Amino acid sequence: MELETVLNERWSCRGFLPDAVPEETLRKVFTLAQRTPSWCNVQPWHTHLVSGGAAEQLAKVLTEAAVAGGLNTDFPIPAGYHGVYDDRRRAAGYALYASLGIERSDKLARNLQMLKNWSFFGAPHVAVITTDRDLGVYGAIDCGGYVANLVNAAHDAGLATVPQAALAFYAEELREFLGLPDDRQVVCGVSLGYADPEHPANAFRTERAEVGDAVTFVSDVSSLEGKPDDQGSAHRARDLAGLRSPLGRRRCLEGGGRDPSDPPAVAHGRAEGGQRLCHRGSRRPDAGRRRLGDPARTRHPRPVVAIDRVRLR
Ligand SMILES: Cc1cc2nc3c(=O)[nH]c(=O)nc-3n(C[C@H](O)[C@H](O)[C@H](O)COP(=O)(O)O)c2cc1C
């Protein structure tokens, strides 16, 4: 399949057939996902691909945890959705519930549908993706790229998938079930198998914003001036171009910038189903004292490459 076709056609499946995928196909898909780029090529992702009876047992553990309520995540969940993000989130949710014939006011039906996350929407396989704790947010970014390649490679192989942050809501249960060491953080899960073409949850497709809403094409820095909120971008662009160097600081290409291991702020919010959320990102013993201005925050590993007043031609 053409890459363009794969990107345009892939979609998130929420109704699978029980048929197992041949091991050869699974190996091909996961081998392709291994081609994902990562910072310094560290390849921090690790996948536990849980299938068959083990998947059924895991579904039971996670569903029980979800019914009991309360979450434990390794990463902060979104603190809130505002503006266009809220619009898009709602549109996706309403499209799903409309295709299932669930009224907006029917909270019980919505919660029962949400609960299906933890039995993988009937998929015979679920991939649990973890990263290394010390690699921080960049490790998670690398895993995000891996997930994208995985779902696209799976689509190309005739499989259906759905990435699921919901599976990471119960990191402790996954840690215990899979025997994960404490330095592995659960990023998300991906359920996969063959789509049930008759399932109503598979009858809708989501939309995307126009490219102009997502990409600012910059060829002339001065064109950024004067726009609300663009002042910072213009200054940053000038910094990069060596035109302005606040504090005359040396910059570094690798190992510099914001400390990637900065602990995330504790987030509180609500999941799609309205559950109250909180994560345990503050587990680091020094989490509370690493604030702006704290020397601990500005300590960086020795830069691999340092550049001073780079001039772009
Ligand atoms: C990181 C990530 C987490 C997601 N978590 C969930 C989830 O927990 N449950 C779910 O049903 N869909 C989940 N999705 C699927 C999104 O809702 C879906 O990708 C989005 O609505 C766009 O639709 P599409 O994948 O069909 O193009 C997740 C997607 C991503 C990338």
Domains in the chain, ordered, with CATH? Answer: 3-202 (3.40.109.10)
Per-residue pLDDT of the chain (313 residues; tens, 9 = 90+): 999 999 999 999 999 999 999 999 999 999 999 999 999 999 999 999 999 999 999 999 999 999 999 999 999 999 999 999 999 999 999 999 999 999 999 999 999 999 999 999 999 999 999 999 999 999 999 999 999 999 999 999 999 999 999 999 999 999 999 999 999 999 999 999 999 999 999 999 999 999 999 999 999 998 886 655 555 555 555 455 444 433 333 332 333 333 333 333 333 333 333 333 334 443 344 433 344 444 445 455 554 444 443 333 3
Contacts of 193 (CB under 8 A, 6+ apart): 16, 17, 18, 19, 20, 21, 122, 123, 124, 125, 159, 160
- Report the C-alpha gap between 93 and 100 in whole angstroms: 11
Amino acid 305: pLDDT: 47
Pocket test for ligand 1, best of 120, 137, 146, 164 (most atoms within 8 A of CB): 164
Amino acid 229: pLDDT: 54
Q: How far is the CA of 184 from the centre of ligand 1 (A)?
A: 22
Q: How far is the CA of 164 from the centre of ligand 1 (A)?
A: 6
Q: Which residues of 130-156 are buried (b: 16+ CB within 10 A; e: fewer)?
A: bbbbebbebbbbbbbebbebbbbbbbb
Which residues are near ligand 1 (CB < 6 Å)? 11-12, 14, 92, 117, 162-166, 188, 206
Atom 21 of ligand 1, residue of closest alpha carbon: 92
**In degrees rounded to 5, what are phi and psi of residue 103?**
-70, 150
Q: How far is the CA of 13 from the centre of ligand 1 (A)?
A: 9
Pocket test for ligand 1, best of 12, 99, 116 (most atoms within 8 A of CB): 12
Amino acid 312: pLDDT: 35
Amino acid 223: pLDDT: 83
Instruction: State the DSSP H helix or E strand holding residue 66, giving kind and residue range, or none if neither.
Output: helix 52-68
Atom 9 of ligand 1, residue of closest alpha carbon: 164
Amino acid 188: pLDDT: 98
Q: How far is the CA of 52 from the centre of ligand 1 (A)?
A: 23
